[in-house]
Structure 1
Amino acid sequence: MRIELEDFDGNHRYAEYTHFSISDESSGFKLKFSTYTGDAGDALTYHNGQMFSTKDKHKMKCAQDYKGAWWYNACHSSNLNGLYLNGTHTTFADGVNWKEWKGHHYSLKSTRMMFRKA
């Protein structure tokens, strides 16, 4: 899997993960992957092994608090489904975040998750 990130100044970063998979619905769409490479910083390994959470399906309310469905783990170091905000913002971690690159007070302009069948 490759994740591409762009900020509002036109800067780009990427993160790649090997052996990527998502389980079926009966297992909660659990996220699994192996090694990270890239220049964005590894903000996804924190979520490895987590089930996909939505506002109506999460015991810790992370999807509700951080405004988007994601593979939360009490709660997140990345959230590519958060609110679309204009770059730097004052609210905590509710934007489109990749903590290891821009932190929790910056919402990215664009993101892309790409998968290739192995």
Structure 2
Amino acid sequence: MREERLTPQEALRKYREEEKIQDRGRLKVFLGYAPGVGKTYTMLASANRMLKRGRDVVIGYFEPHSRKDTIEQLGDLPQIPTIEITHCGIRLHEMDTQAIIQRHPDTVLVDELAHTNAHVP
């Protein structure tokens, strides 16, 4: 007789129960095949729905790319101010990771995650 295989969710639940591990967080990635296909817009729309349901949602980093429809999706979402640093003589705005950790929200939106982070002292 063949043993029935667990789904990934069932296996994770069983592992957490056996190891007494609490749910530490989740990563949700919005992927698209090209710039301008709606990744940021969709992420913000999803976050606004969470906010309306009472979740503590903040924007950790947002790159509007001058897209009016995307900027309008910001709605009432609070934003963690970026920090300004100078790297190689260029002034840059980077996500303030320490401020996010101190704020400890349920959900943090990070747009443009795949970029080179300048060194923050």
Flag the structure with larger Rg. Answer: 2
Fold-level similarity (TM above 0.5)? no
Name the structure with the higher helix share: 2
Give TM-score, length-normalised by structure 1.
0.25
